Structure 1
Amino acid sequence: MPLSRYGGIYGPAELDLLQRVFDRLCDERRLAKKDREQRDQLAAQVIHVFDDGVTEEADLLRVMSKRRRA
């Protein structure tokens, strides 16, 4: 069930998952901390996909990887 029904409130487990996915994607895309605009866009995309119901870590990584190739 998408968490967007809860107004974007995430528990510790969801926040940990989102952080792991974000960190891994930043590493894969070689986004440095100084690339703030790109990192902000990536974070928004990860949260959007998560809110759309892709809540498993492996699935989230796969969907985000496909988005980069598209």
Structure 2
Amino acid sequence: MPLIHVNQVAGKTAEQKAELIRELTETYVRVTGAKPESVWVTVEETAKENWGIAGETIAARTAR
């Protein structure tokens, strides 16, 4: 059973996340021939203050 894990900054709508899950599942099924029921997708959201790039938080980068 494949698991696709997405880790992203918080802020996407429920509709956007649902579409992402649908599209990822459809793509995996198309490419691998797997059954949709076997594909699991998780979306983990992290606050901008808790994610850093190049020594600073995404919140600080966004504020610039």
Give yes or no for TM over 0.5.
no
Q: Which has the larger radius of gyration?
A: 2
- Which of the two has greater strand per residue? 2
- Which of the two has greater helix per residue? 1
